[in-house]
């Protein structure tokens, strides 16, 4: 099995962006005694705010995981080695976006129709079934037949990564290699499909909100 040094050297070789002399002359960052990973800048504008409110964090996490995946797809557009590195966090981030979106809807709109939030499961198949049950309780219509389209996409994620594990670790807890569903993947198509899924969830959020506002639920 290749070690980390071999893999890194292979990536550098594939990139063909620097000469060996360039690599040797690159500034090398080494840990310093005064390093602190979590600091606050003097100018508040330069800081990221970590929301204290759980609901706000949920919404920001949903958007954050998808936005991060979108940015990684863009960053990898013209660089094959970068694509091969970023494909793992890209798939994981899109999957996490789907999982959090389902949990957000169940927690926000489910209790009004007797559907409990589900914070325990990573099973997208189960979460999607609970989501559909919630829509049925609300009596929502699907004139564009978007539900089965989105369901097919979500179940594909559920199939290739059942437990939100396959694209975070190369092996399972017993040390056995985790199989991958696809050896090659066109990332711009994945990103475009996820735009449609995001639009679907946004539409559901708006529609269910309007139903709650207009009803005695």
In a domain, 46, yes or no: no
Tell me what pLDDT residue 1 has: 43
Residues 6+ apart with CB under 8 A from 211: 138, 140, 217
How far apart (Å, rounded) are the C-alpha atoms in residues 137 and 148?
Answer: 17
Q: Cβ(85)–Cβ(124) under 8 Å?
A: no
Q: Which pair of tokens denotes residue 112?
A: 């009004």
Asked whether residue 14 carries a pLDDT value surpassing 80, the answer given is no
Q: Which tens digits make up the pLDDT trace of 160-209?
A: 999 888 899 999 889 999 888 888 999 999 999 999 999 999 999 999 99
Mean residue pLDDT of the chain comes to: 89
Question: What does the pLDDT read at residue 179?
Answer: 86
**Domain membership flag for residue 1:** no
Residue 18: per-residue pLDDT: 56
Cα dihedral 32, 37, 38, 43 in deg (nearest 10): 70
How many degrees, rounded to 5, is the angle at CA 100 between CA 55 and CA 208? 70
Evaluate whether residue 126 is within a structural domain: yes
Provide φ and ψ at 57, rounded to 5°: -60, -40
The enclosing H or E element of 53 equals: none
Q: Would you say residue 8 has pLDDT above 80? A: no
Residue 72 contacts residue 190 (beta carbons within 8 Å): no
- Mind listing the pLDDT tens digit for each residue in 21-68? 666 677 788 899 999 999 999 999 999 999 999 999 999 999 999 999
- Ranges assigned E (strand) in 64-185: none
The pLDDT, as a whole number, for residue 125 is 97
Domain count, the chain: 1
Could you tell me if residue 118 is inside a domain? yes
In a domain, 90, yes or no: yes
Residue 23's pLDDT is what? 61
By C-alpha distance, which of 57, 92, 75, 56 is closest to 180? Answer: 92
Q: Which residues pair with 177 in a beta bridge?
A: 171
User: Is the pLDDT score of 12 beyond 60?
Assistant: no
Per-residue confidence at 111, pLDDT binned at 50, 70, 90? Answer: very high
Question: Contact at 8 Å (CB) between 122 and 131?
Answer: no
Mean local confidence (pLDDT), 131-140: 93
The boundaries of the domain holding residue 104 are: 53-214
Determine the 3-state secondary structure of 191 from DSSP: helix
Query: Does residue 29 form part of some domain?
Result: no
Contact 158, 95 (CB under 8 A): no
The Cα–Cα gap between 179 and 161 comes to: 10
């Amino acid at each position: 099995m290749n070690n980390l040094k071999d893999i890194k050297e292979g990536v550098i070789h594939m990139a063909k962006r620097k000469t060996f002399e360039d690599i040797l002359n690159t500034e090398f960052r080494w840990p310093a005694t005064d390093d602190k990973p979590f600091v606050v800048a003097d100018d508040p504008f330069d800081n990221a705010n970590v929301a204290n409110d759980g609901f706000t964090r949920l919404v920001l996490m949903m958007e954050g995981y998808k936005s991060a995946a979108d940015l990684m797809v863009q960053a990898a557009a013209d660089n094959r080695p970068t694509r091969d590195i970023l494909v793992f966090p890209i798939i994981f981030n899109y999957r996490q976006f789907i999982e959090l979106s389902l949990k957000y809807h169940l927690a926000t709109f489910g209790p009004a129709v007797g559907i409990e939030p589900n914070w325990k499961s990573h099973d997208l198949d189960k979460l999607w079934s609970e989501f559909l049950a919630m829509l049925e309780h609300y009596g929502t219509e699907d004139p564009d037949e978007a539900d089965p389209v989105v369901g097919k996409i979500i179940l594909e994620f559920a199939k290739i990564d059942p437990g939100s594990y396959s694209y975070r670790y190369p092996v399972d807890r017993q040390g056995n290699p985790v199989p991958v569903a696809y050896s090659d993947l066109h990332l711009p198509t994945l990103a475009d499909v996820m735009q449609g899924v995001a639009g679907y969830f946004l539409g559901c959020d708006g529609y269910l909100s309007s139903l709650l506002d207009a009803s005695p639920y």
